Structure 1
């Protein structure tokens, strides 16, 4: 979990403790507050000590139980402020994949140059509909999300319009292992690899592959996307991190530079993609 996020969660816990200790009718103990909200005492302690992330419903219940209904709006704003940094998958996907894709669409519209690293799957901007459908299906099952898969596929494909507009530049680097990951059917993966092979040489896309046999200066860690030099989005299992501080962006730019030192491009990248494609149908 990011230091900035934890600091923000701790600060929210301090505010919650202040509300509990300064009730209009006198201070409440943690046990009394738990009784009023129907929670166990440990939840009160975790929220106050920054060990658990509050939901908007938690904050509303806390404010009402402590007699501070006027604080609800401020508490929600404080939560929204640090959730803009760490975006839980469970919460993001409560309304399905489509809203997440629309948020990315807005960021694409305001970005001129993209740098994208993926170590385990084909990056979204290069996915075929079949491959994207398989990805959305897997994550829908994992997070028990609203099943809006076809809407999400259409939104993801819409992102790809800029590949051919000539107004934006993409530099995508994949670890070779991503070409073999059977997240979809062999037929869908074959179509996806054909698509990748056809992208090599496109003037708006610089596609690199880090071969499995390459010497690496750092491990090929989780995926991230740099939007110009103003934002980095990092994907983890529990959440996406949206980082826009200069220090955070600079850190990921350094990681990017280090990873891409091992990448190959052009004809060499094309041969690696074709090798993966041949492995699906060696005859």
Structure 2
């Protein structure tokens, strides 16, 4: 369990205790009202157990403050957003993080992803990945284990060849034109994308720059088996697994997908970016 998650759970427990005290109830009386074991009341208000939305609604009603249920449930949703700060994750370099992703991707059967500014790691060439890892190590001032990290990122791509998996990935066209590592690196990376079109385990869509969209391109995100969402910011990796968050990110992906180009159309957009690089 992450430190951030535990701190959030303890803060929620403190709020539950506060509501109980304000109602003039001791733990035993509250447990009796709820029909719970007294130990459950203790675990919840001491941050040793994660409450459910139903637990919080029942607690609010039992202390005579049903209007507080929505506030408590909002705290729970915030708790379900687990944060992993990059500075801590990268303390030993990029390789441990890449190795963790290898395990996570192997456990995943179906994935929906979207990237707005970069080619996804799942599709990167070694040269492209190397440039990004070097840039990130410089930015985060983390140990430079670039060779090992590139190898680990390439191992992640082995899942693309496993029968029964499906990776539905959207890339905003702007990412095809972002010059990472120079002309040769980008040319090789775009050629790699072309080679993915038509694979049985990959559905690659390109969201054109001029496509009419019902929402702006947003930030990148990945939905794992429709059970959790991972969002990467500059300093933090966020994880969401509540039904509301999954539904929200699913809707965003669907709306972006509605404007995406696939197959020959996607190939033409990649070729256009390839031609622009060759002309520079």
- Sort the Cα spacing of 1:194 and 1:232 in 2 relative to 1 into closer, same or farther, 3 A: same
Matched, 1:182 2:159: no
Distance 1:162 1:267 in 2: 24
Question: Which residue of 204, 221, 229 maps to 2:201?
Answer: 204
Unaligned segments of structure 1, at least 5 residues: 16-81
Q: How does 1:97-108 map to 2 (within 5 A)?
A: 97-108=94-105
Residue 239 of structure 2 is aligned to residue 242 of structure 1: yes
Structure-2 residue corresponding to 1:11: 11
Q: Which residues in structure 2 correspond to 1:204-243 (within 5 Å)?
A: 204-243=201-240
- The number of residue pairs the alignment matches comes to 215
Contact residue 207 and residue 259 of structure 2 kept, 8 A? yes
Query: C-alpha offsets along residues 5-54 of structure 1, whole Å, 9 cap, x if unaligned?
Result: 79818818969xxxxxxxxxxxxxxxxxxxxxxxxxxxxxxxxxxxxxxx
Q: Does 1:172 align with 2:160?
A: no
Q: Say whether the 8 Å CA contact 2:80–2:240 is kept in structure 1.
A: no
Instruction: Work out the CA distance in 2 between the residues paired with 1:141 and 1:167.
Output: 38
In 1, are the aligned partners of 2:80 and 2:241 still within 8 Å (CA)? no
- The one of 145, 167, 173 equivalent to 2:142 is 145
1:38 alignment counterpart: none
Runs of 4+ more than 2 Å apart: 4-7, 12-15
Would you say the 8 A contact 2:117–2:174 is kept in 1?
yes
Q: CA deviation at 1:199?
A: 1.0
- SS of the residue aligned with 1:215? coil
Does residue 156 of structure 2 align to residue 162 of structure 1? Answer: no
CA distance in 2, matches of 1:154, 1:12: 42
- Provide the residue aligned with 2:113 in structure 1: 116
* Alignment partner of 1:276 is 2:273: yes
Looking at structure 2, the residues matched to 221 and 177 of structure 1 have their Cα atoms a distance apart, in angstroms, of: 13
Q: Tell me the residue number matched to 2:92.
A: 95
